[in-house]
Structure 1
Amino acid sequence: MTLSGWTREPLVHFLIGGALVFAFFAWRGEEVDPASRVIDVDRETQAQIALGYERLMGRAPTDAELDMQIERYVREEVLYREALRLGLDRDDAIVRRRLSQKMDLIAAAQAEAATPSDDTLQDWLETHPDRFARDARYSFDQLWFEEEAAAQEALTRLERGADWQGEGERISLPASVDDEARREVQDRFGEQFVRSLDPLEAGGTWQGPIASGLGWHLVRLREVQAGDVPPYEDIRDEVEDDWRAATVAARKQEAYELLRDAYRVEIAR
């Protein structure tokens, strides 16, 4: 995609608009000059500080509370500028991760606020019945990691042909599950893990990382045997939650791929 075509995409406009909203409510109307020794807490900044307090507490701050919030803002600004002066924003994995997460949130915001119609949800149920089958049975292999970054690095190695049995961190979970009912998988791995299994494609490919209450997992879903699907009226809320989660994930990926097309990546071999 050319640069001019990229900039005309509606999703890009949405991302840029979201970024500006983040910047506005972070009380930073322009790029900070770390060399400056002047912190100007003007009336507009004070109003934003007061507004943030009101939204959080449900009431306007008293004079003393506003003074305290302003002092907190000044403290944050001082430490922020000194961190920039020291170059702590560069080559910092935590900072990179937080910023990338914010970009994901911007991309997903519209989908999270959407209200799908019953026709949309019924179509979703008919298209993905396996996700709602009560007696579904699963066969899969999984690798556990404490940190998402470690799981992502392992996925890269697996895609390059590494032996999966040499990957993963130690935990008291089975590396392989064969023909196990959905409820049994949920009891072992948690509800979040089971819900994350549903969008995966069965086959020989490692997928993830997916989250659970225990950490992060790479999963090779070998087989899914579907069971009975309850009537739509009985599981409408569950269908909506699943539709929203999948739509948010798709929106994040769509935003990433759109932005990714504007870059040339050179990987040394």
Structure 2
Amino acid sequence: MPRLRAILTSPLLHFFALGALAFGYYGLENPASEQPPPENVLRLSETDAQRLALDFVTTRHRAPDPEELRAMIRDWAIEEASVREALALGLDQGDTMIRNRLRNKIEFLAEAPAAALTPDDATLEAYYRANAARFGQDAALSFAQVLLPANTGPAEVQAVKAKLEQGADPAGLNASSLLPPKVEAMAAPAVERVFGQGFGGEVAALPLARWSGPVHSGFGTHLVRLEGRQEGILPPLEKVRARVLADWRADQALKMREAHIANLLRRYTLELPEISDEARP
């Protein structure tokens, strides 16, 4: 009995009941016809009615009251009438935004079936291995660094290195730099983003627990002490299965779109205007 009471008092049940009554009344007032409506008649289809109801409950998380329902129908009627007037005036012709929107809809229809595809385990495993770089855990580096002043000569470099080897604090020697004097387990790609292309690779190749350098970055020249190096790993498929499946479906969607485009273009003959040599880039 409590379960039945919960169902009967559910707002969702009230929403569907209200929707059924409202759109049922609309159906009685506007009986369906096999013939298309005259140009001056705005006929709300069952599909559009369901869309209006679904949009409301999705955004408001409740059923519309009668006044809101009338406002929804009126807004739909304004939109439908405005679209018809715009089409009659040819306002859709040559409009880049409308053309792009129509193209996007066609491409979406072409790739939408990919969302429902489920590969077998062997297919997903093969895809995972072939794209291991996407899903692996990046190598990580821990190191201390000192950014040397510009135009530091070899003798000065050795003097700074000697201070560091004797226990000088890298932070004190990095006073004029905004770069972190110590980095703990930073992913190798992040090291590259912070310090510049190639810096992470050079640091990873240094000997452990020893001040080395100079090492060059996008900021200048550094002395670096490599404290730790964690190798990248590829986790078991089951730990990242959802992500791998999402990527596989995205790749399938792209293939479907490209196949659709190729098939679409085969149905047409492309005719181009002649371009004089002077107009060629």
Give me the TM-score of the superposition, normalised by structure 2: 0.47
More relative contact order, 1 or 2 (CA 8 Å, 6+ apart): 1
Normalised by the length of structure 1, the TM-score is 0.49
